Amino acid sequence: MRTPDIASTPDVVIVGGGIGGLSTAFALARLGLRIRVLEQAKEFGEVGAGIQLAPNCTRILEDYGLLDAAKALGVVPDRMVMRDAVDGRELTALDLRDLERRYGFPYLVIHRSDLHALFLDACRKAGVELLTEQRVVSYTQAADTATARTQDGVEHRAAVVIAADGLHSVARAMFLDDRPVSSAYVAYRGTVPVAQAGRPVDLSEVVVHVGPGCHFVHYGLRGGDLLNQVAVFESPRARAGLDDWGTPDELDTAFEGTCDTVRRGLPHMWRDKWWRMYDRDPISTWVQGRIALLGDAAHPPLQYMAQGAIMAIEDGWVLAEHAKRLRAADRTVDWSGTLAAYAAVRPEHCRRVVLTARAWGELWHLDGIQRERRNALLRARAVHDYSFIDWIYGPTALFPEDEPAMFEPIPLASADRIHAGRVASADHREHVL
């Protein structure tokens, strides 16, 4: 057994130096706790492009004193717009300035690497111990401690070990022998200077074009200097069970029938890499003794609600709030109580998000009569109707009784009353909005 070459034992060890791990480290370090983060890569960094931060996240950034810095690095748009990817017509929109008035905090878009760097800098200033090239391969625990062991034999022991080690979490196997679930969808991403976008772009909007088996997202980054684009489509090869799926030829084929605005964005995607989209089935147990799952290790979602990183940030905030609530006069934390409180509230919320994201993905990608029904219902929605998002954009619940009720789904077949002549003879599958 090897032990780290440091003088003191941390209060908390966090495995994983992504957005979830670093935001949690900062939240706990603000309480005066000694935090160590173990990152398996040679340096801390974040892969990807843009990320959307809804009010349930920017509320936490404000609490951390980081919101102004995040706004300076990103863009605060005026509207979120959903359009049909085939004909380009607007289906529905959110007035994001009114949304900010309703929830008290803005909707922000920012580059993932900028948000990650913001948390990394905050951790450094807070005295978090940041270690790289630490690949954790196993976990053990005693009555009041837990240990993360790296592949070179180093054991990192603390009162609590938090596994924020992502979709392929090593720690999750302690809780359940499950595997990531493939959606058969793949995402291509890309950023391009706005001046080189090749088409007029309104950077005051976050736009998603939804189409049969595909969708396309774009919005501005870094003060409007960059355009972020994401193209997502269902892979026929994945559906056929082939290993080589999601390739650029499938990308081009998937978007052949889309409108000019979407097709003109495709040449600016990174065509040498793509992200296959997985989630996992929700689990209700995230804590075992002094080991806790957090972020994608606990609840990896599909991206349709843009809540993946947000849920991880919320996890850390909730954990820290309960640690603060259960801290004694001598500043010691009742970790058993803290972890129990965390485990009582977060799994149910994240279960809802993961399952709703799956349903919204199906809704976005409808074809034929079902697409027409969806479009009719979306066009009938009032701009200031927040019934579908109140449960997600409001304050993060600290206790189960604070978790708000979800929205009431609307059967797509109800669109028949809007356009009875167009769709009355169609099949009546129970897709819902």
Name residue 154's beta-bridge partners.
2
Given 107, 139, 188, 219, the catalytic residue: 219
- 407/52 Cα distance (integer angstroms): 21
- 239/288 Cα distance (integer angstroms): 36
- 419/416 Cα distance (integer angstroms): 5
- Taking alpha carbons only, the member of 230, 223, 189 closest to residue 209 is 230
Name residue 2's beta-bridge partners.
154
CA distances to 11, 194, 301 from 26, rounded to whole Å, are: 13, 34, 24
Q: Which amino acid is at 363?
A: L
- 332/310 Cα distance (integer angstroms): 28
Return the SS3 of 255.
Answer: coil
- Taking alpha carbons only, the member of 245, 223, 205, 195 closest to residue 114 is 223
Confirm whether 219 is a catalytic residue. yes
Helix (H) or strand (E) holding 352: helix 335-364
Alpha-carbon 98 to chain mean position: 23
Q: Please return the burial class of 103, using the count of CB atoms within 10 Å of its CB with bins 0-12, 13-18 and 19+.
A: buried
Q: Please return the burial class of 296, using the count of CB atoms within 10 Å of its CB with bins 0-12, 13-18 and 19+.
A: buried
CB 190 within 8 A of CB 270: yes
Q: Please return the burial class of 329, using the count of CB atoms within 10 Å of its CB with bins 0-12, 13-18 and 19+.
A: exposed
Residues known to be catalytic: 219
